[in-house]
Structure 1
């Protein structure tokens, strides 16, 4: 089955492949958000464990799917070989840092006076969704960049690797959809609106995926930098948002085990399939 999927994605233009793969990631976010239509609430312990799982997947994907290929495809030895990855990684983290400081957003389960970024008159629900939207930009970008590498024929970038990354991100998007929609429901929003806002938070992924694929296709030398850029952005999100969020409710042990589980699942997927 996996071979047939790889063959199909290999037969279509990489930009279209990036779009379809990131639409799959969005779809699983929508599946997670749809839980709000079936259940009134999700136990906070379970929610923190799932958030920890998403963090573990993102950490593993940052290394196995992004940093390791970025280093492998760079010529030279010693510092010369690792510098593009280091520069890209720092650039990605600083990019998310700048967005975090400039764009108004509110993390899950934070009080109204904990809004980050520039002041705005946006509603709390909009600020919450915007926070998760920022979270999803590097995920879509990472998938798109790998497909872009396939387009220009770089050996370290494969369709199988790009699909594996998309599968891993999709898996962690499912609990992420739950984690967005359920708090909105608890705030008094209707089931339908909670679902719509929850799934909308991942709509940026297909856009970022196409942008990533196009950028590498037109500027091939940037691929190692672009892969590491996506990794740096993802690690920033995990450290600044995901892990602290899992520690706010006293469920530290469950959240930590969730991170370990997510890391192992993504590592197995990447090594076995990618």
Structure 2
């Protein structure tokens, strides 16, 4: 019933709704700051590891695998589109990483990255999470756009599962940004508002991703690879190091394994 209704919507509306869902789950995770008194460091590292596992699994099963399948129907070696898109996606995020001022969650202020600014620590923290959410939004938009263009390679259910997987990992992610903001001295309400606001880029970039594909259908496998490269870059550059920084490497790795396994199950079982 729900799937039939979603199928009746246009790909841009599907992507926008999915992006709004993931934003809502970010807000749900951020809302924990209204009830929890202090950051549990172990829980935070497990949450970051879990998010990393989800993104790694989604990058392959939801993005690279269908990109490879589509490329096999093209008159070029099937590895070229996904590999090209993957590298360009990683380079794109690297460029943003160089330009956008930001600070990883558990890093001291002197380790701020990007163009030097006078931004406060809290602003830099939010910009870091915003940077992380850009490839997630793109992945959602590209997936729904791919379904609209090539429903045999990317089913509606697989696009929905991608959005659900990203949404699930956004719950601990929202918690992971709002609680450090609270530790920086912000009020509970302000920590929540800023924490959930970091997820707003997801519906925006989901819409951008699907609209670009709507204009340029031939870029489909390249776009899927691009989204995967962007997600892997953020995972390796930010999530995994952050989860390992606090001395809880074993449970953070366990969180990654759980996140990867869950996303793999969602993608394979409901394809």
Asked if 2 retains the 8 angstrom alpha-carbon contact of 1:104 and 1:119, the reply is yes
Unpaired runs of 5+ in structure 1? none
Matched, 1:136 2:165: no
Matched, 1:171 2:163: no
What CA RMSD, in Å, does the superposition of the two structures yield over aligned residues? 1.3
Q: Secondary structure at the match of 1:34?
A: helix
1:46 Cα offset (Å): 1.0
1:150 Cα offset (Å): 2.3
1:237-252 equivalences under 5 Å are: 237-252=234-249
Asked if 1 retains the 8 angstrom alpha-carbon contact of 2:39 and 2:180, the reply is no
Unpaired runs of 5+ in structure 2? none
Alignment match, 2:229 = 232
Q: Hey, what's the Cα distance between the residues in 2 that align with 1:42 and 1:8? A: 41
Count of matched residue positions in the alignment of Structure 1 and Structure 2: 271
Q: TM-score of the superposition, structure 1-length normalised?
A: 0.96
Q: Hey, what's the Cα distance between the residues in 1 that align with 2:101 and 2:60? A: 29
Among 14, 38, 41, the residue aligned to 1:41: 38
Q: Hey, what's the Cα distance between the residues in 1 that align with 2:180 and 2:100? A: 21
Q: Secondary structure at the match of 1:179?
A: helix
Provide runs of 4+ in structure 1 moved above 6 Å. Answer: none
1:79-90 equivalences under 5 Å are: 80-90=77-87
1:201 Cα offset (Å): 0.7
